[in-house]
Structure 1
Amino acid sequence: MGLPGVHVVGASLGGMVGQTMAIEYGDRIRSSTSMMSSTGARDVGQADFAALGGLGPAPEDRQGHIDWTIRASRVLGSPGFVFDEAAVAERAGRAYDRGHDRSAMLRQAVATVASGDRTARLGSVRVPILVIHGTADIMCDVSGGRATAAAVPGAELVVIDGMGHNFPRELWPRFGALIANLVQHVERNPS
């Protein structure tokens, strides 16, 4: 895109992508926020497959997909915060209409494994990193966020009680403030 420097925010697999960008392109990354993600090490950030196992595959039809997404969001969501079923259903419908591909989740799962363990390489990152993770995340255990913050010198870790693997509306102002504070700090102190 030709941008000389960017602030990166990524969640889940996106957090892993952001970490890789900071490792490989640290001279062009101004800051990075890794949310509900992990280092790729096999002993941290693992999913609770027992809790996920009952979901089964997502149906092919639109309404079945919406209903499945609501069930999955209840399992993966944040028990400490309000569950907005109408918003989940609306987003699931828009996502289905945009392009439904049942194999996409499998490809995403494979990508998380294929990305490998970044722990050692994260030790060389000199980009300001903010790590946000919830204590109730069953898709990526909070140990993944803790390991990410521990691997990056000077990283800031924010652990949120009751947050799962989603973005509860109640936390949007907090997410925005945390990320804005990081960006403003970096922009005021470019060295």
Structure 2
Amino acid sequence: MSNHLQQEQIVKVNGVDIAYQLHGSSKYPTLLLIHGLSTPLTGWPMTMVEAFVAANFQVLLLDNRDVGCSEQLDHLPIPNMAWVITKLKLGLSIKAPYQLEDMMRDVIGLLDVLNLAEVHVVGVSMGGMIAQLLAIHHPQRVRTLTSIMSTTGYKKLPPIEKNIREAFAQTPDTKEYQDRKAYHVKKWQVIGSPDYPTPDEDIDLYVDGMLQRGITATGTMRQVLAIMAASNREKALSKLTMPSLVIHGDSDGLVNVAGGKATANAIPNAKLKIYPGMGHDFPAELIPIIVDDIIDHANTNVSE
């Protein structure tokens, strides 16, 4: 746990219990970090959080609904996935237990509870989609937007690479902790950065920290359905006016770099930073550069 941890609480917002952490001093501008699919707030490398705090930002982390210490919405039914996939292939709309917009409203509710009128928003993967929706529906709350390893929701962008799709389609051998852990370690290995492989012991610790905080198969599936049900955001993104930064790796097999390019093309005057050899993770070697890019982006546009 970071020495900069100011507080950790669970609050009821938008009808859902949402867990959050605040790091650093409230006298500084706030960086809101939103992580991706089935990834609790411990998915953010602590070196990133500490670097942001050292650069005079208060850092707000949260567990999205259905992951970590936030509420598990197991009372919501999960539809038949074979039928969902068939409908998607036919171009038909699908029903999800909740929408990405609901997750966005969770975040707005949290900002309201914390009396944060305006924040610098950083979202990765699914968190990038939520961050985009925050900027679209509540632009007055978003001082700057940083969308990382994400996409616009345009359905004809390149799909997930086959080896990743196959790894994600597997399930743990049993419900025992070690088998669940092995399954998640394999997922992070397969989506990792080809030019910056993470040592096995580091992935092991990383996954252990996330599983200890809380990841469930049913919660993950509901989040997946929210992503699958999402509409194309390109038209709405074209109306954004806040300073925006888009970050992506050119070796991302989960969310193809075309998704980052489409996001940057959709948002007026967005800056695009593509990292060679980076996959769908934060390699230790690139964290200082990524942090500097985000800090420079936010500091250039700090509220007076």
**In structure 2, the residue corresponding to 1:130 is in which secondary structure?**
strand
Match of 1:42 among 145, 155, 163: 155
Give a deviation string over 1:146-187, Cα, whole Å, max 9, x none.
000000000000111111111111111011100000111001
SS at match of 2:122: strand
Match status 1:3 vs 2:135: no
> What is the distance in 1 between the residues matched to 2:283 and 2:272?
19
3-state DSSP of counterpart to 2:123: strand
Gaps of 5+ in 2: 1-111
Does residue 156 of the first structure (1) align with residue 275 of the second (2)?
A: no
One-letter identity of the residue aligned with 1:35:
I
Higher relative contact order structure (alpha carbons within 8 Å, sequence separation ≥ 6): 1
Give yes or no for the alignment of 1:145 onto 2:244: no
Counterpart-to-counterpart distance in 1, 2:215 and 2:261:
34
C-alpha offsets along residues 10-68 of structure 1, whole Å, 9 cap, x if unaligned? Answer: 10000000000011111110001100000000012532244421451234221112212
Matched AA of 1:171: L
- Counterpart of 2:132, as a letter, is Q
Moved more, 104-113 or 45-54: 45-54
Q: CA deviation at 1:73?
A: 1.4
- The answer (yes or no) to whether the contact 1:52–1:75 under 8 Å persists in 2 is no
Gaps of 5+ in 1: none
Secondary structure of the corresponding residue to residue 103 of structure 1: helix
Whole-angstrom distance in 2 between the partners of 1:179 and 1:24: 22
Q: How does 1:165-184 map to 2 (within 5 A)?
A: 165-184=280-299
Q: Find the aligned partners of 1:67 and 1:186 in 2 and give their Cα distance.
A: 42
Partners of 1:4 and 1:99 in 2: CA distance: 29
Give the length in aligned residue pairs: 189
| Residue 21 (structure 1) aligned to one of 128, 131, 134 | 134
For the 8 Å contact 2:119–2:141, the answer to whether it is kept is: yes
Distance across 2 between alignment mates of 1:91 and 1:63: 14
1:38-117 equivalent positions in 2, closer than 5 A? 38-44=151-157, 46-55=159-168, 56-59=170-173, 60-117=175-232
CA apart distance, 1:79: 0.4
Distance 1:128 1:135 in 2: 23
Contact 1:65 1:92 in 2 (8 A): no
Q: How far off is 1:116 after superposition?
A: 1.3
Superposed CA RMSD in Å reads 1.6
Q: What is the Cα deviation at residue 5 of structure 1?
A: 0.7
| TM-score normalised by the chain length of structure 1 | 0.92
Distance in 1 between the 2:268 and 2:199 partners? 37
CA contact (8 A) 1:11 1:37 kept: yes
Structure exhibiting the larger radius of gyration computed from Cα positions: 2
Distance 2:177 2:208 in 1: 7
Give the structure with the larger helix fraction. 1
Q: Which is richer in strand?
A: 2
Structure 1 contact 62–93 (Cα < 8 Å) conserved = no
Distance 1:121 1:66 in 2: 39
Q: Secondary structure at the match of 2:140?
A: coil
Q: For residues 79 and 46 of structure 1, do their structure 2 counterparts lie closer, same or farther at Cα, with a shift above 3 Å needed?
A: same
Rounded to whole Å, the distance in 1 between the matches of 2:117 and 2:215 is 35
Do the aligned residues in 2 keep the contact of 1:37 with 1:45 (CA within 8 Å)? no
* TM-fit CA distance, 1:136: 0.9
